[in-house]
Amino acid sequence: MKKEPFIVDDHFMLRKGIASYLEEKTLWKVSGTFSSAKDCLKELSKSGENKEKLPEIIIIDIQLGKESGFDLAREVKNTYPQVKIIIYSMFDTLGFKLQAKDLGVKGFISKAAGDNELINCLNIVHSDGTYFEENDISIQKELDSIIPILKENEKRVFELILQGKTNSQIKDELFLSLHTVENYVSYILNITECKNRNQLIEKFK
């Protein structure tokens, strides 16, 4: 498969920096850089039915100005399921990683990581693998005991709490009533044996 990813990030210098580094130091040749989800989707739509014109991988930032990189990732996965997504963001807490996994993202890299880590992630995803920075073993064991018993909306609320979202923000994002969100939060705090959301966030750092 061709090593020609897209990069979607609203910071010009970062897009340029990643593209330049990859092209100077590796065999990866960036085939498109975009500042918004709209521009990326417009370019993807030009491929039409020709799958050969699609990039194998798209590197996406979570925060694209007022747009969400997760919304772009979801649309890409729904419309072009063969395209692999890597999230590359300064928002690297567990809540964001869990949401990325739920969306079918193949890799997640912190912008604080070294250049070699991004290259390693690209190579692993190119080889049909997945790349997520490992969680602490004790945290992973706790997650393994919690995630399977959470229903879909409960899991999304859990992820958004770990992202630092308030009940009101969760309500708006998931189109739920505030009362429903409060019930989900109470249930999550109960099964994780946490007194409040701050303790929950601290527990899953």
Of how many residues is the chain composed?
205
Checking if the pLDDT of 136 tops 70, the result is no
Rounded CA gap, 136 and 192, in Å? Answer: 17
Beta-carbon count within 10 A of 191 CB: 13
- CA–CA distance, 23 with 21 (Å, rounded to integer): 6
How would you classify residue 107: left for phi > 0, otherwise alpha for psi between -120 and 50, otherwise beta?
A: beta
Give the per-residue pLDDT at 192: 94
Please, what is the average pLDDT of the chain? 91
Packing angle between helix 94-102 and helix 69-79, nearest 10 degrees?
20
> Which pLDDT tens digit goes with each residue over 7-56?
999 999 999 999 999 999 899 999 999 999 999 999 999 876 667 789 99
Measure the CA–CA gap between 197 and 202, rounded to whole angstroms: 9
pLDDT at 57 over 90: yes
Sign, CA torsion 23/24/25/26:
positive
Q: pLDDT category, 144, cuts 50, 70, 90? A: confident
